[in-house]
């Protein structure tokens, strides 16, 4: 699996004592994102699908609307010197993108952040609503509860890096019949979502009407933000959503499902998009 995983030696202690054994870790390396040769952000990520990640990030920042807004994306040399030549080596950890004319780069940041940073509560939702390009509240997509509770398993079946390391998050886009459009993994939850949205943008599939975004962990405001800007009507998470994630879904028209596991789930916003297929298969709860 190349640079996605790394082999290490560990000491395993269990009821039978201790033994040395090989193990695999998910690789975490910095990706410097440059725009026109100028460094704008750094994100710690699992290498792979970096161009999708960059496009998804730029879309979530409101910088681009489609693939045509990025004229070129290429890896370039970083600060590591080649042992033989003494010149900067290509570490594949620096990605330079050239924006189309008229596209304004985001503010320069020393680390990876989202466009919601520095804003909180209702102000965050108001700001986000002004950035939206798609009328999600007019998307009347429906999905059965039977299918929705299967999505974590369908996502897990495609988590190859998690299978070997247990150390990455995943995000996937699914149709309402359970077809996986794309699944991406990363050490960062936000990066995994940026990668799937970047894939959709490059494939010309925005807005993502009629699609479910399934994530492997908890659901924060930033993930709902990314889904909203990409036109996703239904967001489903294995774990809990945050209060701001729920408020955002309620206000902007997204269906928010949390604790989607086993045969049950909690629906926190716009539950009308989920059809309960049996009385004991769906647990609906209004946020307090």
Query: Is 156 in the same domain as 184?
Result: yes
Does 18 reside within a domain? no
Among 59, 85, 118, give the residue marking a domain's end.
118
Mean pLDDT by 10 residues, the chain (288 residues): 75 74 84 93 92 97 96 81 62 92 87 40 79 93 94 93 86 97 94 97 97 94 95 96 90 94 90 76 43
Query: Is 144 in the same domain as 113?
Result: no
Q: How many residues does the chain have?
A: 288
pLDDT (0 to 100) of residue 232: 98
Torsion sign (Cα): 275, 278, 281, 285: positive
pLDDT (0 to 100) of residue 79: 55
pLDDT (0 to 100) of residue 196: 98
The catalytic position among 1, 77, 81, 117 is: 117
pLDDT (0 to 100) of residue 184: 96
Does 94 reside within a domain? yes
- Domain with 186 in it: 136-275
pLDDT (0 to 100) of residue 127: 84
Does 57 reside within a domain? yes
Query: Is 150 in the same domain as 86?
Result: no
pLDDT (0 to 100) of residue 274: 93
The 3-state DSSP class for residue 134 equals: coil
Query: Is 260 in the same domain as 176?
Result: yes
Query: Is 141 in the same domain as 266?
Result: yes
Does 8 reside within a domain? no
- 120 belongs to the catalytic site: no
Predicted TM-score (pTM) of this structure: 0.84
Number of domains in the chain: 2
Query: Is 108 in the same domain as 144?
Result: no
Name the nearest CA neighbour of 186 among 56, 59, 48.
48
d(CA 98, CA 85): 28
């Amino acid at each position: 699996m190349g640079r996605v995983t790394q082999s290490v030696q560990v000491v395993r202690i269990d009821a039978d004592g201790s033994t040395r054994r090989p193990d695999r870790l998910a690789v975490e390396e910095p990706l410097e994102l440059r725009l026109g040769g100028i460094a704008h952000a750094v994100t710690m990520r699992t290498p792979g699908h970096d161009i999708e990640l960059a496009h998804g990030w730029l879309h979530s920042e409101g910088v681009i609307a489609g693939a045509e807004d990025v004229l070129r994306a290429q890896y370039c040399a970083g600060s590591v010197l080649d042992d033989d030549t003494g010149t900067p080596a290509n570490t594949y950890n620096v990605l330079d993108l050239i924006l189309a004319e008229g596209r304004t780069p985001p503010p320069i940041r020393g680390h990876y952040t989202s466009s919601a940073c520095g804003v909180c509560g209702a102000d965050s939702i108001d700001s986000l609503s002004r950035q939206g390009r798609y009328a999600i509240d007019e998307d009347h997509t429906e999905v059965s509860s039977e299918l929705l509770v299967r999505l974590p398993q369908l996502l897990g079946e495609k988590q190859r890096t998690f299978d070997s390391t247990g150390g990455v998050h995943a995000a996937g886009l699914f149709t309402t019949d359970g077809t996986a459009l794309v699944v991406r993994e990363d050490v960062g939850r936000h990066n995994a979502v940026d990668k799937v949205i970047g894939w959709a943008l490059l494939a010309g599939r925005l807005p993502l009407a009629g699609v479910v975004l399934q994530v492997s962990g908890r659901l924060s405001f930033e993930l709902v933000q990314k889904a909203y800007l990409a036109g996703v009507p239904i967001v489903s998470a294995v774990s809990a959503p945050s209060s701001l994630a729920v408020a955002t879904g309620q206000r902007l028209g997204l269906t928010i499902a949390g604790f989607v596991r086993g045969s049950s789930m909690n629906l926190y916003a716009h539950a009308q998009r989920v059809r309960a297929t049996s009385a004991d298969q769906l647990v609906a709860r209004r946020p307090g």
